[in-house]
A = this chain, B = another copy of it.
Amino acid sequence: MPKAKYDFIYKDLKSRIENGEYEFQELLPSENHLVLTYGCSRNTVRRAVAALVTDGYVQTMQGKGVRNIFEPAQQTSFTLGGIESFKESALRNRQTPRTKVLCFTELTADEKISKKTGFPPGSQLYYLQRLHYLDDKALILNHNYFLKDIVPSLTPEIAENSIYEYLENTLRISIVTSKRVMTVEKMTQIDEKYLELGDYNCLAVVSSQTYNSDGIMFEYTQSRHRPDYFRFQDNATRRPASH
């Protein structure tokens, strides 16, 4: 249930586009028209449309209109922009997620871990290894580091369900920003043991640092993906700002 008006308009337009209410390449109603149908100001409409642009759903053209460039094919993607937990993206794609906790320990960040994760040396951390299954196939091996100060009393039981649910619903931590880096790395013995890599000798690795609303980095995660099931989608726009 969206509180904000622009968010309601955004969701409404988005679902209309997804449901094929506008043809591919068709123009949406003009901003002035949308102002009348939603009974709001033009700024609010523009904000909703801007969100659709960053989603890669539409394209705005000065003097012409707003064109629908959404193609249903992109729905099949596994990972989209934005921050999403494994469970969320699995359910979005109507698949059955399962998580197995391989390792659950506490540790103190030494120099090596600090350099790898970005936590200051001496930080008290939870360290987890988790294996994520989708429809009974082991697809992702996760290495999680959580700052104990921010995420207290984490348990293997919580880790087996969704840690993000625990963070948001129980601890009321609001996740705000996440920096992600995607690379390709050679497989390790652990990868080989748990993921069925077949002929592949390397995998897709997504490393991310997550910040809470106080600007504190409380999570470092390295997700190691089976390459044949990895797909990362992105919509880029060429801003005049980038020149």
Contacts and interface: CB of A to CB of B under 8 A. Distances in A.
Contact of A235 (B56, B178, B228): B178
Contact of A182 (B176, B211, B234, B235): B234
A137 to B, nearest CB: 16
Given A51-B241, A81-B234, A83-B237, A59 B211 contact: yes
Interface stretch (A29-37, A106-114, A125-133, A200-208): A200-208
Contacts of A202: 184, 200-202, 227
Contact of A213 (B7, B61, B175, B178): B61
A74 B184 contact: no
B83 A232 contact: no
Interface string A133-157: 0000000000000000000000000
Nearest to A242: B82
A16 interface: no
A236 B180 contact: yes
Given A202-B200, A215-B69, A184 B59 contact: no
Determine how many copies of this chain the complex contains. Answer: 2
A46 to B, nearest CB: 11
A192 B36 CA distance: 59
9 contacts: A11-B241, A59-B215, A61-B176, A69-B177, A178-B238, A181-B233, A182-B233, A186-B200, A208-B236
A183 B233 CA distance: 9
Contacts of A183: 204, 227, 230-232
Given A51-B239, A184-B203, 20 more contacts: A7-B240, A54-B54, A56-B177, A61-B176, A61-B213, A82-B236, A82-B238, A82-B242, A176-B238, A178-B235, A178-B237, A181-B231, A181-B232, A182-B231, A183-B231, A184-B184, A184-B225, A184-B227, A186-B200, A202-B202
Interface in A164-197: 174-186
A67 B215 contact: yes
Given A202-B201, A215-B67, A56 B238 contact: no
